[in-house]
Chain A
Amino acid sequence: MSLRRREALLPYLFIGPAVGGLLVFRVYPIVLALWQSLHTQTLDGLQRFAGPANYLAIVSDPQVWNAVRVTAVFNLIINPLQIALALGLALLVNRRVPAIGVFRTAYFLPMTVSLTITAIIWNLILNPQLGLANGVLVRLGLPPQPFLISERQALASIMALATWKGVGYWMVFLLAGLQQIPAAVFEAASLDGATPWRRFRDITLPLLRRVLAFVLVADLAINILMFVPVYLLTGGGPHGSTELLMFHAYRLAFVFLDWGRATALAVLIVAVLLMLTGVQLRLLRAEFEY
């Protein structure tokens, strides 16, 4: 091989193993799922082309629509909640006062606990008879609550535990964004007599817009796919009240072994996520050239 051709090949040798791996283990499975979603398995184990049958079965299934509804409610509440709390914490710890680092670390620490362990710890804390949460309510003279075993409170309980873990993570992103804003801007506004609220609304929020948008999209991507607490704590119940979409897809695939429908649903989920990541990419694109 000539030297020039070797030079031309060299970049591909550097990126080959990793990018090849991504194509095989991230991109190709989606193609596989797409193929499977257009086929059904006959009783003799052969795959037969089924056209859109699996997709039609998915969109005409009331259980799927229930899962879509639960996932929508979950996301409409948890994402604004997490981001508002994270922004509040970021504003609170964005000052140069003694020991502020200790508090930043304290707020971030739950993030180092895996979602599995988070769910297990909170399952005990929210236990109606033995749990710490009702212990606190009783101490305050309030009635104990059923939490995860109640149709009305189970989804909110999952939001609470996911927020406990996640809020410090988004706080770090927003804190980084706040620290990019030059202090001189605030000093000038203060001298002009701007109130703290006006400074927040007219300076902080506009300058933080891109970070906020990024955090919102990234948070949404994670919460649309929320699975672990449902699997471990509620099994989608009581009465389907916590049947999040990813858990429904899991059951179709690994409990009912209905791979046609499971892959059809997985393909739809990937399509939604691709749209979200497309938005995320646009937010990042202005930052660097590649």
Chain B
Amino acid sequence: MADTLAPHLPVAHPTVAGRRHRLRWSQVALYVALTLIALAMLTPLYWALLSAVRPQEVVFQHVRPVSWRTFVPQELTLQYFGEVLTRTRFPRALANSLFISLTTVVAGLVVNSLAGFGFAKFAFRGKGLLFVVVLLTFMMPFEAIVIPLYMLIRQLGWVDSYLALIVPAIPHGLSIFLFRQFFAEFPNDLLDAARIDGASWWRIYWRIVAPLSTPAFISAALMLFIMQWDAFFWPLVAANSAAHTVVQVEISRFVMQESTSWGRLFAATAMAIGVPMTLFFGLQRYYVQGMTATGLRA
């Protein structure tokens, strides 16, 4: 399992030195290929982020035909970040998204880790069937039940509320699965010893198991946060009044309004990209661990 995307240090292997001159040309070809693909993948992202900090008059000026001026700014400005944070409804959307994402993370960590512990360490009737429910819910992408879920939210009277955006996202199959896999490795001897000392299961969970399981909590927190930060389809239909608009929906409105300035659009976009990307760079290992949590092996 690739537990990290981080660089693998070159191994000082005796045969490497001997083969080096023979491999040189294939090495050069490899790096040329790697670099060309990297440029293709990163150019759209670089161009979008660069467009947030250059005067909007020039964003499309040097595009056709493409030249070095397309990618090298002659002048930089932070003006649009100021504008978008003071003259638009974007700050409200930022606050909404932060509030919704963080609430989901806190509640989701508690609820899903408890369930993961239950599945990992207890035997009970109906366990197999209930675990299949957990598996099916995370394998089925959320989009599949947007229309049915909307009917439930309407019945509950939650349309256009924070409840609609937060509560359905808290129980999370993949997080339960991730916690279960992590807790299953926890030595039973330690739990038994604590039981003999008279500790309750709750106490064992909060005082022994949870503090020793930080990596699983970080991975699950990342998954829940990014799921909510990136959410679009559900907020679009469930709560799209100005009071409850989230970042992704607000940016899509920028695009649909003819009068939007390019600078403001790109600045808002850069902020929306920046949050998950910062989390990714800071916590790369946990990010990939959560992603490949299904533990599927070759």
Contacts and interface: CB of A to CB of B under 8 A. Distances in A.
A6 B203 CA distance: 16
Contact of B11 (A18, A96, A175): A96
Interface string B283-295: 0100010011011
Given A96-B8, A287-B295, A17 B34 contact: no
Contacts of B119: 15, 290
A180 B173 contact: no
B101 interface: no
Interface residues of B, number: 99
Interface stretch (A50-58, A61-69, A70-78, A127-135): A127-135
Contacts of A129: 64
B143 A227 contact: yes
A253 B150 contact: yes
Interface in A96-126: 96-110, 112-117, 120-125
Contacts of A33: 147-148, 151
Contact of B134 (A22, A116, A173): A22
A6 B146 CA distance: 38
Contacts of B190: none
Contact of A121 (B44, B140, B149, B168): B44
Contact of B255 (A168, A172, A232, A250): A232
A120 B297 CA distance: 36
B150 A131 contact: no
Given A15-B119, A134-B64, A112 B276 contact: yes
A287 B296 contact: yes
Which of B123, B265, B296, B297 is most buried by chain A, counting CB atoms within 10 A of its CB?
Answer: B296
Contacts of A259: 151
Nearest to A281: B135
Nearest to B292: A176
Contacts of A158: none
Contacts of A164: 41, 44
Nearest to A113: B273
Interface residues of A, number: 111
A132 B132 CA distance: 47
A232 B1 CA distance: 37
A283 to B, nearest CB: 7
A59 interface: no
A174 B265 CA distance: 36
B200 to A, nearest CB: 9
Contacts of B42: 106, 109
Contacts of A210: 296-298
Contacts of A23: 133
Contacts of B233: 227-228, 231
Nearest to B71: A132
Interface string B1-35: 11001111011000000000000000100100111
A274 B136 contact: yes
Q: Is the interface of B mostly helix, strand, loop or mixed?
A: helix
Given A29-B145, A281-B139, A101 B44 contact: no
Contact of B132 (A11, A168, A181, A281): A281
A139 B65 CA distance: 5
Contact of B296 (A30, A173, A227): A173
A288 interface: yes
B144 interface: yes
A277 B173 CA distance: 13
A211 B148 contact: no
B141 interface: yes
A19 B171 contact: yes
B141 A221 contact: yes
A12 interface: yes
B85 interface: no
Given A22-B137, A117-B248, A270-B144, A207 B298 contact: yes
Which of A98, A113, A207 is most buried by chain B, counting CB atoms within 10 A of its CB?
Answer: A113
Q: A-B pairs with the 8 shortest C-beta distances?
A: A101-B7, A21-B171, A14-B118, A29-B148, A18-B115, A33-B148, A11-B122, A114-B230
29 contacts: A15-B118, A18-B112, A18-B172, A21-B167, A22-B133, A26-B140, A32-B155, A33-B147, A33-B148, A89-B37, A92-B37, A109-B41, A115-B230, A117-B273, A121-B47, A122-B44, A125-B47, A132-B66, A135-B64, A135-B66, A169-B291, A172-B288, A211-B298, A225-B143, A270-B144, A283-B296, A284-B135, A284-B296, A288-B181
Interface of A: 8, 10-12, 14-30, 32-33, 36, 89, 92-93, 95-110, 112-117, 120-125, 129-132, 134-136, 138-139, 164, 168-169, 172-173, 175-181, 207-208, 210-211, 214, 218, 221-222, 225, 227-228, 231-232, 246, 249-250, 253-254, 259, 262-263, 266, 269-270, 273-274, 276-277, 280-281, 283-284, 287-288, 290
